[in-house]
Chain A
Amino acid sequence: MFNKESVIRGVKSVAPLILGIVPFAMISGITAANTGISLGMAMLMSVGIFAGASQLAVLQLVSDNAHMLVIIYTALIINLRMMIYSLSIAPYLQGIKMRLKALLAYSMTDQSYAISTVHFLNNPEEDAKSFLLGASATLWVVWQVNTIIGYLMGSIIPPELGLDFGIPLTFIAILFKGVVGWPGLIAIITSGVVAVAGAGLPMNIGLVLAAIFGITAGTLSEVYLTRGRG
């Protein structure tokens, strides 16, 4: 049922991003070790949540002795953006079994989502489920393995190495992949400005506002720029 070539294309498409994901996965392992939770608990989190930024927030709040509801709330707010990904990628994942939809949803990350949807736009013939599976599964394995390595090597790696910088770099690497001319650039700039301006807002509102403003600016500018050209 899976197209082997499509799976391999999916794997290859995210392979270069591993360089940025490995350090971040290690950080999540190191932080878990430093928080004092067991390796089993760290892996339950890593497999059960599988969303790096929210996992780090949870660990931070656990070590701050925050209330359980605060931790749950904060993590879910950080992951709310996944709903937009779900809406955006949904058209490509129709006509497949519900179980497979669930598996593809569970394993979808920022990177596998962005790489895949851009690829599907440019390659409408692609077997979407196979491609996305290849992309997501690759990152899943890399994430889990390096979380364990980070946990076990925790004390050896100096924090000033700034390993967290790997993730924004993976985002930068794929930023222009799907950009559609001026409207894409306008979306990027609008969203970036709003995100920085709104960074101090509580509950990650800045990120949500930035996405909304960016998407709106991109769409409106495209409508405006193509007006009269049929």
Chain B
Amino acid sequence: MNNLQLILTILIIGLGTFLFRFSFIFLYGKMKLPQWVHRAMRFVPPAVLSALIFPAILIRNEALWVSYENPRLIAGMVAIAIAWKTKNLLLTIATGLGIFWLIIFV
């Protein structure tokens, strides 16, 4: 791929991604959404975040890795427990990274 093609690729992806982000912010008000849609939207953050988290800690090299030797799983589970108990963002991330590196390097 030459530089021109790469620039074009990046610009098209950038434009498309922007249009995704802009889509309903732009359209809203021009159309009426039923009440149940608003109700359902409250579940978007937990559902999407969960869908991003669990494959990231459970799947490695395209295979399920459920084992105490999986550092992402162990550190991730501890982080989930801390997030649940304390709701403290910094503590959750710091502990998660700390345990992760501890397992990898010790």
B81 shortest CB reach to chain A, Å: 10
A-B contact count (CB 8 A): 274
Q: Which residues 29-45 of A have a CB within 8 angstroms of B?
A: 37, 41, 44-45
Flag if B22 contacts A101 (CB, 8 Å).
yes
Roughly how many angstroms separate A214 CA and B42 CA in the complex, as a whole number?
11
Across the interface, B44 reaches (CB within 8 A) one of A16, A85, A160, A176, namely A85
**Which residues from B are CB-within-8-Å of A167?**
56
A118-B45, A169-B79, A187-B46 known; A207 vs B51 contact (CB < 8 Å): yes
Least Cβ–Cβ distance between B20 and chain A, in angstroms: 4
For the complex, give the distance between the alpha carbons of A180 and B97 in Å: 27
Q: Does B104 contact A (CB under 8 A)?
A: yes
Interface SS of chain B: helix, strand, loop or mixed?
helix
CB distance from A72 to the nearest CB of B (A): 5
Rounded to whole Å, the gap between the CB of A71 and the closest CB of chain B is: 5
Interface size class of A (residues with CB under 8 A): 35 or more
Who on chain B is nearest to A47 by CB? B14
Interface string of B66-106 (1 = CB under 8 A from A): 00000110011001100110011110111011001100100
> Who on chain B is nearest to A164 by CB?
B56
When the two chains form their complex, are residues A191 and B50 in contact, meaning their CB atoms are under 8 A apart?
yes
Cβ-defined partner of B42 (8 Å) among A160, A175, A180, A199: A180
Query: Are A171 and B49 in touch, CB under 8 angstroms?
Result: yes
Given A173-B89, A192-B53, A86 contacting B20 (CB threshold 8 A):
yes
| A85-B45 Cα distance, complex, nearest whole Å | 8
Q: Which residues of B contact A110 (CB under 8 A)?
A: 48-49, 52
Query: Are B55 and A196 in touch, CB under 8 angstroms?
Result: yes
Q: Of B25, B38, B83, B104, which is in contact with the most chain A CB atoms at under 10 Å from its CB?
A: B25
A165 close to B72 (CB less than 8 A): yes
Tell me if A60 is interfacial: C-beta within 8 Å of chain B. no
A169-B97 CB under 8 A given contacts A44-B7, A105-B18: yes
- Residue-wise, chain B 30-72 has the 8 Å CB interface mask toward A (1 for contact) of 0000001111111111111111111111110010100000011
Q: Which residues of A does B touch, CB under 8 Å?
A: 16-17, 19-20, 23, 37, 41, 44-45, 48-51, 54, 58, 62, 65, 68, 71-72, 75-76, 79-91, 93-94, 98, 101-102, 104-106, 108, 110, 113-114, 117-118, 121, 160-162, 165-180, 183-184, 187-196, 199-200, 206-207, 210-211, 213-216, 218-219, 222
Closest 7 CB pairs of A and B: A214-B47, A218-B43, A16-B89, A90-B28, A210-B51, A48-B14, A16-B90
